[in-house]
Amino acid sequence: MANQHIDQDHEAKTKAIGWSGWKQSGVVRWVLLLLFVLLFYFSLAPHVLPKTYNIQLNKASDRDIQAPMEIKDEKATLQAQEQAAEQVEPIYSIVALRSELLLEQVFTRMEQLNQDDQVTHENKVAIYRSEIPQMYNDFVDQFVRSNKGNGTYNDSLLEEMANVVKDQAYRIPEETFYKMPQLTPVQLGDMQLVAVSIVHKLMGDSLREAETARTKVAELVNASTLSERKSREIVQELARYAIMPNKFLDKQATSDARVAAKENTPPVVIKQGDVIVHKGEVVNQEMYDRLSDFGLLQTKRNDWPQLGLLLFSVLFLIVIYGYLEHASNLSGGKRKGYTNAQLTMLLLIYVLNILAMSIIELTQTQTMPYVGYLAPTAMGAMLIVMLLDVQLAAVSSFLFAIVSSIIFNTHSGRIFDFNYGFTTAVVSFAAIFAIHRASQRSTILKAGIMASLFGSASVLAIILLGELPAKSDLIMTVAFAFASGLLTAILVVGLMPFFEVTFGILSALKLVELSNPNHPLLRKLLTETPGTYHHSVMVGNLSEAAAEAIGANGLLCRVGSFYHDIGKTKRPSYFIENQTNYENPHDSIEPKLSKSIIIAHARDGVEMLKAHKLPKPIRDIAEQHHGTTFLKFFYHKALKLAEEAGEEPDFTEEDFRYPGPKAQSKEAAIVGIADSVEAAVRSMRSPTMEQVESMIHKIIKGRLDDGQFNECDLTLKELDKIAQTLKETIIGIFHSRIEYPEDVKPKERLA
């Protein structure tokens, strides 16, 4: 019977290995990757590969042939360009003349000449009469020379400026020249400040006619600080003299604008979907040429588009495979998160997401292109976040954005319509950020609402940046984008149980459901073994804190801890935490039997968890949390009994070890440490902080020396972090029981 039982166990293990072997099979992996390429190729082919027809010249067509894209009508386009050029208004440009510099030259000359006693008053008047107008022309000519060829102003604009400015030059009255020689340096200084200020202010506006600004000079001068009448009169005349027009007809810019208007005139096109040739219509040369322009003739085989699409699909695959390899390298090359099972699930998510897009695309028309915004494009990203990985969801969102920009493209003249791609990226990332820490089913609905809001906002932004559609179309577009998020949430809620059951996925949502105290096993644990239940809750608190400290799955540790000792419900009285009201039954039975009972709780727990269909990660924690640890108490008790009976022991230390396996994951190892630490602290009457810390390090070191962490990837640094976190958590949980040193102040204890 024993041999038969061993054979059955071996056969079961062989089947399990065979079943799990495909998950790591290289052949299966390459088949799945090939399926990704085929998915991208065949889902995008109808949208990017051109259709061709066997059409004969001067023969009737056997079908209606529609334009697959917009094509330009050359003759009508030329007429539209000429009309657009005629409608361009002349362009006027501003030239910064800075005529206040001219004023400064005039005042400098006046100051020099007025101080020269060798020159008579009449000669000074004559000099002013000849030099000041000439200074005006020289200033303009110098400005033209200094700016010619430097790229600031074009030559035609400078020529136009010089002509207009000289034509509008102000003629200073004769009597002003007679007053100028009488001015002192102090008067000139005050006048210069006022004149320059007025000119600078009036020239700050754009002036096509200088006279417009010159009429305002008198008012500004009278409001100035100048008190002498003569000074005010001269400043008025000099300010009018210095004011020039600064806005001129720019012939070259006007010509360039007319050329640009021609270039920017949208071509007159034959619209996509317009019937080029009707069924039964004889194809003449003009029709034949038009069909040729559209690339609709099967005159010669063209395999380049198919090759391009295949390359496109391979590039998509490279993005996915590159990320999987990168994630694999980060985890030590073990592919822990991305077995073939996960890759199969990822492929299925891609199929469902692209299928949903394609179904919505069937309802999209040229008159209602906005129907495409209804597609639940964020569904794939949300499923990947909850079932696989946040980073993989971000990478996939990028791919889904490209796919949607192809599938929903209504402009066959180009491959992509990034209006849809941009919206897909926005809603996908919004959903990722809203759901990546989901702990309840309602979080999916919240993520859907976030996708709705961000989707509506992105669509509205796109609309406002372009040509505004009709009000009804605007409302429908935003409404479809909003409905997309809600549809996404509904589909994700419906699909999550399918993936969880089919692939045995333990999502955060599933873990939260399993932590419900109303679960039959947890109710059984509470009612039949309250001591074990309390122990499990404490272990859950400890293990969750330790796991989160090193970046492991804290929620899995907590829920796994709730179920890790469920096997004790079969024989509750044999475990010390449940022996409050009666004697320890181990005192009256053989150590070997005690050992068998204690060890059996792990195996019994796994069987109970299997019977209730709990996910494998939970079962693994129940099976592995003791690893192959040594039951020292019962071993030494057996040695003592053998010694007292005068018999040679017929057992070894290996007979008093748990059968294992050792912890295969960080989570199982952490639960095992927390299990031992909680039991040890509970057994201490009045522990001190030093005793707690010493006990934690002793337990971890003992397991480390015993090789219990050899099959999981915990590092020594992580073990130190776990020890520190467990100490802090225990102090928080058992605060009232832990004795503090006398020199620790109450405030420090509270901290």
> Per-residue pLDDT for 739 more than 60?
no
The angle that helices 390-407 and 379-387 make with each other, rounded to 10 degrees, is 160
Quote the DSSP letter at residue 296.
Answer: -
Q: How confident is residue 75, by pLDDT bands cut at 50, 70 and 90? A: low
* Structural domains for the chain: 23-47+305-505 (1.10.1760.20), 92-249 (no CATH), 510-750 (1.10.3210)
Report the Cα 357 to chain-centroid distance in Å.
Answer: 21
Q: Kindly state the tokens that stand for 249.
A: 């007809």
Beta-carbon contacts of 318 under 8 Å, excluding residues fewer than 6 positions away, are none
- Full 3-state SS string of 489-558: HHHHHHHHHHHHHHHCCCCHHHHHHHCCCCCHHHHHHHHHCHHHHHHHHHHHHHHHHHHHHCCCCHHHHH
The angle that helices 666-683 and 716-733 make with each other, rounded to 10 degrees, is 40
Instruction: State the pLDDT at residue 697.
Output: 92
Q: How confident is residue 412, by pLDDT bands cut at 50, 70 and 90? A: low
- The beta strands (E) that lie in 234-277 are given as 247-249, 269-270, 275-277
Report the Cα 649 to chain-centroid distance in Å.
Answer: 66
pLDDT digits (tens, 9 = 90+) for 646-673: 777 777 878 888 888 999 999 999 999 9
Q: How confident is residue 721, by pLDDT bands cut at 50, 70 and 90? A: very high
pLDDT digits (tens, 9 = 90+) for 42-65: 888 888 776 766 777 778 877 777
Which of these ranges, 101-110, 252-261, 478-487, 682-691, has the smallest mean pLDDT?
682-691
Instruction: State the pLDDT at residue 7.
Output: 43
Q: By three-state DSSP, how is residue 623 classified?
A: helix
Which of these ranges, 176-190, 192-206, 478-492, 565-579, has the smallest mean pLDDT?
565-579
pLDDT digits (tens, 9 = 90+) for 160-192: 888 988 888 889 888 888 888 888 888 888 888
> Per-residue pLDDT for 720 more than 90?
yes
Instruction: State the pLDDT at residue 423.
Output: 92
Instruction: State the pLDDT at residue 557.
Output: 93
Q: What is the mean pLDDT of the chain?
A: 82
Instruction: State the pLDDT at residue 298.
Output: 63
Instruction: State the pLDDT at residue 329.
Output: 61
C-alpha 540/C-alpha 525 separation (Å) is 14
pTM: 0.57
Percent of the chain exceeding pLDDT 70 equals 88
Q: Kindly state the tokens that stand for 168.
A: 């509008």
The residue type at 346: L
Instruction: State the pLDDT at residue 192.
Output: 86
Spatial CA neighbour of 247 closest among 91, 93, 141, 99: 93
Q: Kindly state the tokens that stand for 714.
A: 């915990």
pLDDT digits (tens, 9 = 90+) for 436-477: 665 566 788 888 899 999 999 999 998 888 777 778 888 888
Do residues 506 and 557 lie in contact, with contact meaning Cβ atoms separated by under 8 Å? no
Mean pLDDT of 628-638: 83
